Amino acid sequence: MTTLAARTDMSIVGRWWRTVDRWLLAALAVLMLSGALFAMAASPAVAERIGLSSMYFVRRQMMFLPLAGFVLVAFSMMDARTVRRAAVILFGVFFLLTGATLVFGAELNGAKRWLSVFGFALQPSEFLKPTLIVTCAWMFSEQFKNGSFPGNRIAAVLGLACIGFLIMQPDFGQSFLIFLVWSALFFMAGLPVSVIALLVVAGIVTVIAAYTYLPHVASRIDRFLDPSSGDTYQTETAMNAFQAGGFFGRGPGEGMVKRALPDAHTDFIFAVIGEEFGLFACLGLVLLFGFIVIRGYLLLLREEDPFVYLSVGGLLGLFGIQALINIGVNLNVLPAKGMTLPFISYGGSSLLAMAMAMGMVLALTRRRRLDRPAHYGESWAGGAAS
């Protein structure tokens, strides 16, 4: 009887609960809650070291977490059209704000990436990434529907503009990430292999150019390939943390190596988790990220809307690549590159932006057909093929 009642419950929340992918939702909830736990392990040491009260970062993260949860659920309740509109509007806003950082931004470690908003340091580039992806996905999908619409061209221009802004900040990590996701978007959009090859070549050329003309990029890559060539303190300390933790960890709060690890609460939080909670916890985290990405992509296989395909594909790509790079650097299989671990690393902007992105993924992967099948039937030309 209750089931029947639920089925007929057409309220927004009831419809959302019936159509949302609960596996994905549960995985994201676990990820966010474990992020709260890990923040308590990693942040106090850093806060004490830089002279803040030990719970400073923990308190701030705890403040952002409920907000992030709200953002995630709110976005996941939108329908595809609303998602698209919201993304495009937000893209416009954050595109301007990212531009504004170049003028008004607070300088930290030689880079202007933050804007001060109501006492909070806002990093617009975090929000720029997912909104750019959805906007580009929309452009691609419009070209699919109407070959004469210059969607691909517009997407290319928007992507290049964003990458340009980020290089000027300078933030090579973010620009490289956007380039990767943006290329993946092109790939999924069905571009011929020849064009993909061109993109790959362009990527390689960019990396070589960065290696040649940017000394700090060169030194990072050198140090990764040949640890004896310079200071590998961070990665070495991270390795020590994993060694100290073993499979089962030293136990929460028992970490010693974390105190000597710079950026323990952000870029190297994975190593802290390794020391205190053990490599089994790390393995669980890797599998959780993998599950979310793969589950999300598999949900796409039943979709027929190119916009949904591409935006979910791009957002999952952003989420997955960011996790892969962060964990890869921590495990010393990639050269050192500052990249936050989604939902786990400290940082309000990154947390809220990721919540928004995954909220959109949840929204776009809802079983729409049960809701309003008619509206989407028109959107994908491929139906005729099978």
Partner 1 sequence: MRTITAQDTPIAPGRTLRSVRSRIIFTVMLFGLAFAGLSVRVVDLGLSAEASAWSAARSGAADMLPARADIVDRNGTLLATDLKTISISANPQKVQHSGEAAQQLAQVLGGVDPAVLEHRLSSTSSFAWIKRKVTPEEQHAVNQLGIPGITFRDEIQRLYPQGSLTAHVVGYNSIDNEGLSGLERAFDEELRDRAADNEGPLRLALDMRVQHAMHEELGAAMRQFNAAGAAGIVMDARTSQVVALVSLPDFDPNDPGSAAADRQYMNRASQGVYEMGSTFKTYTMALALEHGVASMDDAYDATHPIQISRFTIRDDHPKARWLNLPEIFMYSSNIGTARIVADAGNGLQKDFMQTLGLLNRPDFELPETGTPMVPENWRNVQSMTVSYGYGIAVSGLQVANSIAALVNGGTLHRPTLLLNPDARDDISRQVISAETSEQVQALMRLVVEKGTGRNADAPGYLVGGKTGTAEKSTYGGYNRDALVTSFVAAFPIDDPQYVVFVMLDEPKGNESTYGFAGAGWTAAPIVRGLVPRIAPLLGVAPSKDDSHPMTRELVRMITPEVRS
How far is Cα 192 from Cα 305, in angstroms, rounded to an integer? Answer: 20
DSSP 184-219: HHHHHTT--HHHHHHHHHHHHHHHHHHHHH-HHHHH
How far is Cα 57 from Cα 318, in angstroms, rounded to an integer? Answer: 25
At position 373, the amino acid (one-letter code) is P
Residues 6+ apart with CB under 8 A from 186: 140, 152, 195, 196, 199
Q: Is 343 exposed, middle or buried (0-12, 13-18, 19+ CB in 10 A)?
A: buried
Beta strands in the chain (DSSP E): 106-108, 111-117, 120-122
Task: Calculate the CA dihedral of residues 164, 178, 71, 300 and round it to 10 degrees.
Answer: 140
Helix (H) or strand (E) holding 13: helix 12-19
Residues 6+ apart with CB under 8 A from 154: 139
Give the chain's end-to-end CA distance (angstroms, integer): 39
Asked if 357 and 297 count as a contact pair (C-beta separation under 8 A), the reply is no
- What value, to the nearest 5°, has the Cα angle with vertex 296 and ends 183 and 98? 45
Locus of tokens 């929000």: 127
Asked if 360 and 83 count as a contact pair (C-beta separation under 8 A), the reply is yes
Q: Is 106 helix (H, G, I), strand (E, B) or coil?
A: strand
How far is Cα 73 from Cα 202, in angstroms, rounded to an integer? Answer: 38
DSSP helix, strand, coil percent of the chain (3-state; round to 5): 75, 5, 25
Closer by beta carbon to partner 1, 48 or else 73 = 48
Locus of tokens 């990820």: 31
Beta-bridge mates of residue 200: none
Least CB distance to partner 1 at residue 70 (A): 28
